Chain A
Amino acid sequence: MKKNIKKSKDVLSYNNNESWVYSDVVKSHFFKPQNLLLKDPKKSEFDAEGQVGSPQCGDVMKIWIKVGPPAGGEKIKKLKWRTFGCASAIASTSMFSVMVTEKGGMKLEDALKVRPQDIMQRLHGLPARKVHCSVLCDKAFRQAVNNYFRNTAQHQRIIVDGAKIIDKNLNITDKDIESAVLDGAKTLLDVQKKLKVGVGDPSAIPEIEQLIKFYNEKYYG
Chain B
Amino acid sequence: MKNIYLDHASTTPMDKKVAKAMAVCQAKIYGNAGSLHKAGREAKAELIKARKTIAQILSCRIEEIVFTGSGTESDNLAVLGVMRTNKSFGNHIIVSSIEHHAVLFTAESLKKVGFELSILSVNRDGIILIDNLKKTINDKTTLVSIMYANNEIGTIEPIREIAEIIKQIRQDRQNRNIKTPIYFHTDACQAAGFLDLNVQNLGVDLLTINGSKIYGPKGTGVLYIKSGVRIEPIIFGGGQEQGRRSGTENIVGIVGLTEALKIANAKIKTESVRETKLRDYFIKQVLVKIPKVVLNGSQEKRLPNNINISILDIEGEAMLLWLDKYGIYCSTGSACDSQSLEPSHVILALGRPYEFANGALRFTLGRSTTKKDLDYVLKVLPKIASDLRKISPVNVKMG
Residue A186, interface by CB 8 Å:
no
Q: Which of B201-209, B222-230, B255-263, B391-399 contacts A (4 or more CB under 8 A)?
A: B391-399
B313 on the A face (CB < 8 A): yes
B392 contacts A38, CB within 8 Å? no
Closest residue on chain A to residue B313 by CB atoms: A84
CB pair A83–B336 under 8 Å, yes or no, is: no
Query: Is A163 an interface residue when CB atoms closer than 8 A count as contact?
Result: no
User: Do A84 and B325 touch (CB < 8 A)?
Assistant: no
Are A85 and B393 in contact, CB atoms less than 8 angstroms apart? no
Contact of B393 among A84, A88, A90 (CB under 8 A): A84
Q: Is the Cβ of B390 less than 8 Å from the Cβ of A60?
A: no
Q: How far is the CA of A133 from the CA of B396 in the complex (A)?
A: 20
B393 with A183: CB separation less than 8 A: no
A85 touches B318 (CB 8 A): yes
**B321 CB within 8 Å of chain A:** yes
Interchain CB contact (< 8 A) of A82 among B318, B339, B393: B393
Main secondary structure of the interface of A (DSSP, over half): mixed
Please measure, in the bound complex, the distance between the C-alpha atom of A87 and the C-alpha atom of B384, giving whole angstroms.
13
Residues 345 to 399 of chain B near chain A (Cβ within 8 Å): 353-355, 358, 390-394, 396
> Is the beta-carbon distance between A83 and B391 smaller than 8 angstroms?
yes
Whether A36 and B391, one on each chain, are in contact in the complex, defined by CB atoms closer than 8 angstroms, is: yes
| Binary B-proximity of A62-106 (CB < 8 A = 1, otherwise 0) | 100000000000000000001111111110000000000000000
In the complex, chain B residues 308-346 whose Cβ is within 8 Å of any chain A Cβ: 313-318, 321-322, 325, 334-337, 339, 341, 343
Size category of the B interface is 20 to 34
The proximity string for A residues 110-138 relative to B, scoring 1 for CB distances below 8 Å and 0 otherwise, is 00000000000000000001100100000
List residues of chain B with CB within 8 A of the CB of A83: 391-393
Across the interface, B335 reaches (CB within 8 A) one of A58, A60, A90, namely A58
Known: A56-B353, A85-B336, A130-B336. A62 touches B343 (CB 8 A): no
Q: Which residue of B lies closest to A93 (CB)?
A: B391
Residue pair B393, A38 in contact (C-beta under 8 Å): no
Q: A residues within 8 A CB of B392?
A: 60, 82-84
A193, closest chain B residue (CB): B340
Task: Collect the chain A residues with CB atoms within 8 Å of residue B315's CB.
Answer: 58-59, 84-86, 89
**A51, A55, A56, A87: residue with the most chain B Cβ atoms closer than 10 Å:** A55
CB-defined contacts of B343 to chain A, threshold 8 Å: 58
CB distance from A178 to the nearest CB of B (A): 17
Task: Report chain B residues within 8 Å CB of A129.
Answer: 339, 341
Contacts of A31 in B (CB 8 A): 322, 325
Tell me whether A57 is interfacial, beta carbon within 8 Å. Answer: yes
Instruction: Sort chain A's interface into a size bin.
Output: 20 to 34
Chain B residues contacting A183 (CB-CB under 8 Å) are 341
Q: Which residues of A sit under 8 angstroms from B396, Cβ to Cβ? A: 55
Residues in B with CB closer than 8 Å to A87 are: 317-318, 321
Q: In the complex the two chains form, what is the Cα distance from A34 to B314 in whole Å?
A: 18
Closest residue of chain B to A37 (Cβ to Cβ) is B391
Is the Cβ of B354 less than 8 Å from the Cβ of A56?
A: yes
Which chain A positions have C-beta within 8 A of B355? Answer: 55-56
Which A residues are CB-close (under 8 A) to B322? 31
B314 lies within 8 A of A38 (CB): no
User: Is the pair A86, B334 in contact by a Cβ cutoff of 8 Å?
Assistant: yes
What string of 1s and 0s marks CB contacts (under 8 Å) between A147-167 and chain B? 000000000000000000000
The residue in chain A whose Cβ has the minimal distance to the Cβ of B338 is: A129
CA distance A62 to B396 in the complex (A): 15
Chain B 265-295 interface 0/1 with A at a Cβ cutoff of 8 Å (1 = within): 0000000000000000000000000000000
Identify B318's interface contact among A57, A60, A86, CB under 8 A. A86
In the complex, besides A57-B354, A86-B337, A133-B336, 7 extra interface pairs with C-beta distance below 8 angstroms are: A30-B321, A58-B315, A58-B334, A58-B336, A58-B341, A86-B315, A130-B336
> What is the interface of chain A, defined by CB distance below 8 A to chain B?
20, 30-31, 33, 36-38, 51, 55-62, 82-90, 129-130, 133, 183
Residues of chain B touching chain A, judged by Cβ–Cβ distance below 8 Å, are: 313-318, 321-322, 325, 334-337, 339, 341, 343, 353-355, 358, 390-394, 396
5 pairs of residues in contact across A and B, judged by CB atoms under 8 Å: A30-B318, A33-B391, A60-B393, A84-B394, A129-B339
Q: Lowest 10 CB-CB distances: which A-B pairs, in order?
A: A86-B336, A56-B354, A86-B317, A62-B393, A82-B393, A84-B394, A84-B392, A55-B355, A58-B335, A58-B358
